[in-house]
């Protein structure tokens, strides 16, 4: 078990990439705090882990808010005594449309969930990790950061910020033995897919997008979970500031 004895917090873990990461972490021995705005979904994932013999607790925390993020970190400490791994996975999509058609409300939400949440996570989790003598932070960015597509300009920008923030955090926190990396998924089989494609995902739309991925498919949650497991494990002990494309070659 590659994460035996570790404690992880995974945000946006009620479905999609976050659920897959949380479940794989638990299978590999970690105790996991499952955070999601959908409390029912968070409890479902936690219950599944418990039924399979793992360790998990669920919490509803809005990662755009300081008090909620602090409560999430405090839950990890109260339940399991420490915090070794933080996965900032919660995200908010932009519906594919011209940049000038995005409302201010949606713009603010995109940056609050995708970017400001990492600020609040750092404010509340980094001091804990420093006190413990180290830790791992993994941010979910996107191939949109390095290969932006039309119709997703503000989302692209938010993920570009995540990449830059990840690299900057990595060099600043390295003396504290806190590794910070990011994962850049290509579009995947998650509830956000229809937003990225501008509505209902038709077979024709899917085929056009898949044709741009050299390995010939969209990402699956387990693809992202496997990358997150590697980056959190001792196998990646000398990796920090890495922004790992998990994209079937699309960014080449």
Active site members: 155
Reading the block at residue 30, the tokens are: 């970690």
Helix 221-232 vs helix 16-27: crossing angle, to nearest 10: 50
Task: Count CA within 13 A, CB hemisphere, residue 171.
Answer: 5
Let me know how many helices (H) and strands (E) the chain has, helices first: 9, 7
By three-state DSSP, how is residue 170 classified?
A: helix
Give, in order, the Cα–Cα distances in Å from 74 to each of 11, 35, 82: 14, 12, 9
Are 221 and 188 contacting, i.e. CB atoms less than 8 angstroms apart?
yes
Are 236 and 179 contacting, i.e. CB atoms less than 8 angstroms apart?
yes
Neighbours of 181 (CB within 10 A): 25
Reading the block at residue 209, the tokens are: 């997008």
Are 74 and 95 contacting, i.e. CB atoms less than 8 angstroms apart?
no
Rounded Cα gap, residues 96 and 106, in angstroms: 12
Q: What distance, in Å, lies between the first and last C-alpha atoms of the chain?
A: 33
């Amino acid at each position: 078990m590659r994460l035996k004895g570790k404690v992880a917090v995974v945000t946006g873990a009620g479905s999609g990439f976050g659920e897959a990461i949380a479940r794989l972490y638990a299978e590999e021995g970690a105790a996991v705090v499952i955070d999601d705005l959908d409390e029912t979904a968070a409890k479902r994932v936690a219950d599944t882990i418990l039924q399979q013999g793992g360790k998990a607790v669920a919490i509803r925390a809005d990662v755009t808010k300081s008090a909620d993020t602090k409560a999430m970190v405090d839950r990890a400490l109260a339940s399991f005594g420490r915090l070794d791994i933080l996965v900032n996975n919660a995200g908010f999509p932009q519906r594919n449309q011209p940049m000038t058609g995005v409302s201010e409300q949606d713009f603010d939400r995109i940056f609050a969930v995708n970017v400001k949440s990492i600020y609040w996570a750092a404010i509340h989790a980094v001091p804990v990790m420093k006190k413990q003598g180290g830790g791992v932070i993994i941010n979910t960015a996107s191939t949109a950061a390095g290969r932006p597509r039309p119709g997703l300009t503000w989302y692209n920008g938010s993920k570009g910020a995540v990449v830059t923030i990840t690299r900057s955090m990595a060099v600043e926190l390295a003396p504290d033995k806190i590794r910070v990396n990011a994962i850049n998924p290509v579009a995947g089989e998650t509830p956000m897919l229809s937003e990225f494609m501008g509505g209902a995902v038709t077979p024709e739309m899917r085929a056009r997008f898949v044709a741009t991925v050299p390995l010939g498919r969209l990402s699956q949650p387990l693809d992202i979970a496997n990358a997150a497991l590697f980056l959190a494990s001792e196998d990646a002990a000398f990796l920090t500031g890495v922004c790992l494309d998990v994209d079937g070659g699309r960014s080449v």
